[in-house]
Structure 1
Amino acid sequence: MSLNSKIQGILGLAAIGDAMGAATENLSFDQIRTQFGKTITKFEKPGETAFALGNEAGQVTDDFSQVYFLCQAILKNDGIINKDIVIKAILDWSNVPWYFDRFAGPTTRSAVAMYKDPSLKMKPLPGAATVDYASKATNGAAMKIAPAGILYPNDLEGAIDAAITITQVTHDNALAISGACAVAASTSASLAPHATVDEALSAGFYGVLRGETKAKFISREVAGPSVVERIRLAYDIVNGVGTKEEKLRKLSQVVGSGLHISEAVPCAFGIVALNKDNALQAVIDAVNIGYDTDTVATIVGSMVGSFVDLTDPSFMSLYETVQVANDFNLIELANSLASIVNTKEEKQN
């Protein structure tokens, strides 16, 4: 499969995961199955419990829309990922009320406010401790990190460094960096010409360890469970006894699938490990895991989208719908990203 096709799969499956997960977000593992009568496998219009209430079926939320804005900004910067272009992308995204007003997470919202008014960075409330946006280890660091892997295919160190650059703009702490590096490294490895899902998972584990180590020197420590240890816990569940459905339930109950980076990323790794032969099913399982489903599904799509069968009618139907619903041309975007990667490689050689 060509680099263009693999990138197309990543963009497509991440967007599908976000849009499909928008309808199940904030529901528990069991509530999803009760409310919909089964696990969902198609786009549904989000209901009253969802942050995406008001979206039509197939419309994305903050997760993939930030990936999209980052890709566009990086393309305009000749494929170079630096702090300034990441800030520009996030601010451009924040100027779209449909996304920012309805979906911006607490960490991203705080970071945007600080970039628009730097005096807010360290301005505590009277009598309160000084806490800024960077102390929040939320999963927004990993949901938008796919461009780091896409722009550095089969280059783990390049993808990890790019992930750190992107993450520090909004989530400058060790836990967020380690989680983002895990996903970026997995995405990067998945773009190798003959990559396997096992190789992508192994690269992701290298990424989480490498990110954790680097963050000790360039970022700050924050309280919270280790992303590394939570991934190990997810693998213990996957390799344990029980049916697939029982293991998915246990991932949701023990590892968690919520807002914290130490839940969403390890949960995604567990879901991918349960679906090594079916990338689309991995995203569907993430959509039905409960809690922050759109984010977990976007992360899973970023990790395994390059393995999806672009000729699969089930995928193509969802792919076409998500592009129309959001006025995206993901084929053109994938081709542009692949072209700029190839140009960079030619210049290096």
Structure 2
Amino acid sequence: MNLQEKISGTLGAAAIGDAMGAATENLSFDQIRHEFGGTVKTFEKPKETAFAIGNDAGQVTDDFSQIYYLCQAILKNEGVLTKDIVIQAILDWSNEPWYFDRFAGPTTRSAVAMYKDPSKKMQPLAGAATVDYASKATNGAAMKIAPAGILFPDNIEKAMEAAITITQVTHDNSLAVSGACAVAAATSVSLATNATMTDVLSAGAYGAARGETLGKIKSREVAGPSVAKRIGLSFEIAAGPGSKEEKLRRLSQIIGSGLHISEAVPCAFGIVALNQDDALQAVIDAVNIGYDTDTVATITGSMVGALINTDDPHFISLFDAVQKANQFDLVELAKSLAVLADKP
């Protein structure tokens, strides 16, 4: 595949993961299998348990919509990515009530409020600790980080620099930077001509460790489990005993798949490690892992979408459906991004 096709796969898999996971979000590993009579492999209309209730089958949520807005901002600025450009992209996204009012996470919501009114950044009560948006190590940094890898294909260091620029706008802390760098590095390497799943996993592990160091230097250190070490633990689970289903259950129970960056990102890497021969199945397994499924599946899709066989009839069907449901032209978007990508 050429770069345009690989970027199209990245965008498509991230959008598919978000839209498919929107129906399973907030359900546990077992509840998903009970509610849907097995694992979900196609688009379902979200029910009352999901934040996306009101969406039609195949519609995306905040996860991919933020990727989309960031990609549009990159195109508008001819491939240039700065903090101001990211801020404007996030503010433009926040002005779309369908996405922001219904889906915005707590950290992103706080950051947007601060950019719209700087006086809202810190307003501690007398005698209380000052805690602002930047100290919250939630997974919103990693879910939207695909453009950093797309802009710098097969260039881990530059992809991580871009990831830090994006992350610091909404999640300015060491753990969020680590998680975002892990996903950006994996996405960047996935776009290399002869990339393999092993390359993606290795790049992600490096990105998490390097991002943790850079996060403590360039951002602010916050308390919480190491993303890098939990990625290592997810690899141990994937390589351990038991069936694939048993290992997926362990990932959901031990690593977790929730809002914290130290759950969602390591969980996604563990899922990828369990699907080294089938990138699309990795996205589907993420949809069925439980809890914050749309985010974990968006992250997974971002990392492995470039390795999906785009001739796979199942992928083609899902790709066409997600484009139609959201009125996206991901093929044209990929074409434009491929022209601007900073190739090593």
TM-score category, normalised to shorter length:
over 0.9
Query: Distance between the aligned counterparts of 1:215 and 1:288, measured in 2?
Result: 31
Partner of 2:35: 35
In the alignment, is the contact (CA less than 8 A) between 2:205 and 2:232 conserved in 1?
Answer: no
Partner of 1:299: 299
Q: What amino acid does structure 2 have at the position aligned with 1:152?
A: F
Q: What amino acid does structure 2 have at the position aligned with 1:253?
A: Q
Q: In the TM superposition, what are the counterparts of 1:106-255 in structure 2 within 5 Å?
A: 106-255=106-255
Q: Partner of 1:222: helix, strand, or coil?
A: coil
Partner of 1:100: 100
Deviation per CA, 1:193-220, whole angstroms, max 9, x where unpaired?
Answer: 1111101110111111111111111111
Query: Distance between the aligned counterparts of 1:126 and 1:234, measured in 2?
Result: 42
Q: What amino acid does structure 2 have at the position aligned with 1:47?
A: K
Deviation per CA, 1:263-282, whole angstroms, max 9, x where unpaired?
Answer: 00000000000001111100
Instruction: Report the alpha carbon displacement of residue 125 of structure 1 after superposing the two structures with TM.
Output: 3.7
Q: What amino acid does structure 2 have at the position aligned with 1:316?
A: I
Q: What amino acid does structure 2 have at the position aligned with 1:164?
A: I
Q: Partner of 1:26: helix, strand, or coil?
A: coil
Q: Partner of 1:248: helix, strand, or coil?
A: helix
TM-score calculated relative to the size of structure 2? 0.99
Q: What amino acid does structure 1 have at the position aligned with 2:81?
A: I
Partner of 2:62: 62
Please tell me the root mean square deviation across aligned C-alpha atoms, in Å: 0.9
Query: Distance between the aligned counterparts of 1:128 and 1:104, measured in 2?
Result: 26
Query: Distance between the aligned counterparts of 1:126 and 1:286, measured in 2?
Result: 43
Query: Distance between the aligned counterparts of 1:126 and 1:294, measured in 2?
Result: 38
Q: What amino acid does structure 1 have at the position aligned with 2:322?
A: V
Instruction: Report the alpha carbon displacement of residue 127 of structure 1 after superposing the two structures with TM.
Output: 4.7
Q: Partner of 1:162: helix, strand, or coil?
A: helix
Q: What amino acid does structure 2 have at the position aligned with 1:74?
A: I
Q: In the TM superposition, what are the counterparts of 1:307-318 in structure 2 within 5 Å?
A: 307-318=307-318
Query: Distance between the aligned counterparts of 2:126 and 2:246, measured in 1?
Result: 48
Q: Partner of 2:254: helix, strand, or coil?
A: helix
Deviation per CA, 1:90-146, whole angstroms, max 9, x where unpaired?
Answer: 000000000000000000000000000011111124553211100000000100000
Instruction: Confirm whether residue 289 of structure 1 aligns to residue 289 of structure 2.
Output: yes
Query: Distance between the aligned counterparts of 2:80 and 2:190, measured in 1?
Result: 21
**CA 1:70–1:30 in 2, change beyond 3 Å: closer, same or farther?**
same
Q: What amino acid does structure 2 have at the position aligned with 1:70?
A: L
Q: In the TM superposition, what are the counterparts of 1:53-92 in structure 2 within 5 Å?
A: 53-92=53-92
In the alignment, is the contact (CA less than 8 A) between 2:225 and 2:262 conserved in 1?
Answer: yes
Query: Distance between the aligned counterparts of 1:239 and 1:282, measured in 2?
Result: 15
Which ranges in structure 2 are unaligned for 5 or more consecutive residues? none
Query: Distance between the aligned counterparts of 2:251 and 2:205, measured in 1?
Result: 18
Q: What amino acid does structure 1 have at the position aligned with 2:261?
A: I
Q: Partner of 2:267: helix, strand, or coil?
A: helix
Q: Partner of 1:271: helix, strand, or coil?
A: helix
Query: Distance between the aligned counterparts of 1:91 and 1:232, measured in 2?
Result: 35
Q: What amino acid does structure 2 have at the position aligned with 1:50?
A: A
Deviation per CA, 1:296-341, whole angstroms, max 9, x where unpaired?
Answer: 0000000000001111110010000000100100000000000112
Q: What amino acid does structure 2 have at the position aligned with 1:32?
A: I
Query: Distance between the aligned counterparts of 2:259 and 2:115, measured in 1?
Result: 23
Query: Distance between the aligned counterparts of 1:126 and 1:321, measured in 2?
Result: 53
Query: Distance between the aligned counterparts of 1:235 and 1:279, measured in 2?
Result: 16
Q: Partner of 1:17: helix, strand, or coil?
A: helix
Query: Distance between the aligned counterparts of 1:144 and 1:231, measured in 2?
Result: 19
Query: Distance between the aligned counterparts of 1:313 and 1:128, measured in 2?
Result: 57
Larger deviation, residues 201-210 vs 53-62: 201-210
Deviation per CA, 1:209-256, whole angstroms, max 9, x where unpaired?
Answer: 111111111111111111011111101111110000000000000000
Query: Distance between the aligned counterparts of 1:164 and 1:205, measured in 2?
Result: 16
Larger deviation, residues 118-127 vs 152-161: 118-127
Q: Partner of 1:194: helix, strand, or coil?
A: coil
Instruction: Confirm whether residue 17 of structure 1 aligns to residue 20 of structure 2.
Output: no
Partner of 2:266: 266
Q: Partner of 2:131: helix, strand, or coil?
A: coil
How many residues align? The count is: 344
